[in-house]
Amino acid sequence: MAPLLGLDGHRLVSFSSAGLSGVMLALSFPTLGHPASAWVALVPLLVTLYGTRSNRLAFALGLITGLIQFVGILPWLTPVMVEFGGFPWPGAVALNGLLVAYLALFPAVFAVMMVRICSHHGKWALLAAAPVWLTTELGRMWLFGGFPWELLGYSQTSVLPVAQLASLFGVHGVTLLVVFINSAVALALIGPRSCRVPVLAVAVATLTVVVLFGAWRLTDNRLVHDGTPLRVGLVQGNIAQSSKWNPDMRSTILSRYLDLSRQSAVDGAGLIVWPESATPFSFEEHSDGDLIRQLARETGAYLLFGSTQNQRGPAPKVFNAAFVLRPDGEVATVYHKIHLVPFGEYVPLRPLLFFASPLVESVTDFSPGTETMTLPIGSHQVSTAICYEIIYPALIRRFVQQGSHLLTTITNDAWYGESAAPHQHFQQAVMRAIEQGRYMVRAANTGISGVVDPYGRIVARSAIFETTVMTEDVRLLTGLTLYGRMGDLVAHLCLLLTLGLLVIARRTRP
């Protein structure tokens, strides 16, 4: 393939190919996309990068891919800022654009690294795309608090035989597989004819082994019979965000949660779960908190729910918290949310965002929690991730390492209406169940609430904007998956491999 610099026609093809990769990456995720798109999404970009020798052009190509990818995945943020942040549409589009531009830097860095590696190692270096892409996703997880929304491996969550790979290597392992297939196809397209059949044969064999493992794990199915049974009730109150903190609605909101919970208790629930910030008041500081305590005593069930908790003192703090009440109505423990949502629960770089004053002024800074903990339910331990925390696989693994027998997550996705956001959020929660070999119980204010088994199969799922209660059987499990034991070791090895390839390419550069 001829170098693209200086050739306007080739440049147009190059940027079109990068844009096509961005479109297919976006179409790998809910709700408009399909998992099949992910298996070839990076092929146009990789083929183009191999014919590129300019770091600047590589950066631009990767940036185009990333911009289109994240514009397609995150369009729902703009209306949220307009409706709830008080932003005019132009300002909301601009602020969302800043986030998209930041996220697009990671595919841009990927492109530069691939050009450097390929310029030294040749066509076969295209097979390094998997560890290099994963390295950039690790950066997206770690830098500035992280925003690991819809990593590429999540695209296969609903493809259960493939998704079982996450029980071995986490979502990062699925990402590695998907990008490896992309790189093999790209190499077959531009490599010598003699390598096409062997490369594609290896790719097909690898995918076949993964699918066979996944099919075996799904057929084995032992985790749905192991452990201790527990009946869990999920309450989806379906409270509009505009009504949530309206004092005139307080009694109505609480009555709805109490009535639905009693219905679940009649159906045998031993644990009843309400969503994030379910109480329209701070539980410990309002007299209506006694009605919730009375509910626990009346039903004899454990109650897990979200509320705020205020810490008084010289430096007062407010936490987004999850409370567990015992059947006697007393608080068993309180968990404070650790990973706060940027621009939702705190404003990063607040002094520099003077131009975003409507949003900055409307956001109350929560304090982050500092301690992962499990929550006692009888003689067992469960854990909860509050909202956005469920997209951090290492956090959920820490819960399991500390003895959690059941994963729960409580959230409020009412902000996002009927957009793709609730579907994307639910998709990522499902992957945590597969990774850890645990049942996942999810209570969402307006949906999607549901129960997921340890293999990622949906046991029960609510509709969005439905007032409902679901009471389902789960199992409290104690075993650990391979991923639960070793965590992100493979991902960290990929980081080291990428750095090694870059060092070698730099040292031997003429």
Same domain, 67 and 214: yes
Number of separate domains in the chain: 2
141 within some domain: yes
Q: Would you state the pLDDT for residue 509?
A: 55
Three-state DSSP class for 34? coil
Q: Would you state the pLDDT for residue 194?
A: 82
Peptide bond into 31 cis (omega under 30): yes
Same domain, 155 and 237: no
Could you give the C-alpha distances from 6 to 51, 52, 53, 54, in angstroms and in order? 13, 11, 12, 11
Same domain, 312 and 445: yes
How many CB atoms are closer than 10 A to CB 69? 28
Same domain, 179 and 260: no
Which residue, among 421, 411, 385, 388, has the nearest Cα to 278 in the 3D structure?
411
DSSP 8-state secondary structure symbol assigned to residue 53? -
- Distant-in-sequence, close-in-space partners of 209: CB < 8 Å, separation ≥ 6: none
Identity of residue 260: L
- Which residue stretches of 191-281 are H helix? 193-220, 250-266
1 within some domain: no
- What is the distance between the alpha carbons of residues 429 and 171, in angstroms, rounded to a whole number? 11
Q: Would you state the pLDDT for residue 328?
A: 96
How many CB atoms are closer than 10 A to CB 405? 23
3 within some domain: no
- What is the distance between the alpha carbons of residues 155 and 160, in angstroms, rounded to a whole number? 11
User: What pTM was estimated for this model as a whole?
Assistant: 0.93
Same domain, 131 and 244: no
- What is the distance between the alpha carbons of residues 322 and 320, in angstroms, rounded to a whole number? 7
Could you give the C-alpha distances from 224 to 87, 129, 212, in angstroms and in order? 48, 37, 20
Same domain, 381 and 303: yes
The widest CA-to-CA distance across the chain, in whole angstroms, is 78
Digit-by-digit pLDDT tens for the chain (510 residues) are 444 444 566 788 999 999 999 999 999 999 989 999 999 999 999 999 998 889 999 999 999 999 999 999 999 999 988 888 777 888 889 889 999 999 999 999 999 999 999 988 888 899 999 999 999 999 999 988 789 999 999 999 999 999 999 999 999 999 999 999 999 999 999 988 888 899 999 999 999 999 999 999 999 999 999 999 999 999 999 999 888 888 989 999 999 999 999 999 999 999 999 999 999 999 999 999 999 999 999 999 999 999 999 988 788 899 999 999 999 999 999 999 999 887 666 666 555 554 554 554 445 678 899 999 999 999 999 999 999 999 999 999 999 999 999 999 999 999 999 999 999 999 999 999 999 999 999 999 999 999 999 999 999 999 999 999 999 999 999 999 999 999 999 999 999 999 999 999 887 654
307 within some domain: yes
Cβ burial of 9 (10 Å; 0-12, 13-18, 19+) is exposed
Same domain, 317 and 184: no
Same domain, 88 and 126: yes
Quote the tokens at residue 284.
């410990």
- What is the distance between the alpha carbons of residues 352 and 362, in angstroms, rounded to a whole number? 16
Cβ burial of 388 (10 Å; 0-12, 13-18, 19+) is buried
In 430-501, where do the E strands start and end? 440-444, 450-452, 458-461, 468-476
Q: Would you state the pLDDT for residue 195?
A: 85
Q: Would you state the pLDDT for residue 193?
A: 83
Same domain, 170 and 297: no
Looking up residue 382, the CATH number of its domain turns out to be 3.60.110.10
- What is the distance between the alpha carbons of residues 232 and 226, in angstroms, rounded to a whole number? 17
**Cβ–Cβ under 8 Å, residues 239 and 228:** no
**Cβ–Cβ under 8 Å, residues 330 and 358:** no
Please give the positions annotated as active site: 276, 337, 387
Same domain, 436 and 502: no
- Distant-in-sequence, close-in-space partners of 462: CB < 8 Å, separation ≥ 6: 234, 236, 444, 447, 448, 449, 450, 468, 470
Strands 271-273 and 302-311: parallel
2 within some domain: no
Same domain, 263 and 190: no
Same domain, 321 and 452: yes
435 within some domain: yes
Residue 328's domain comprises 228-477
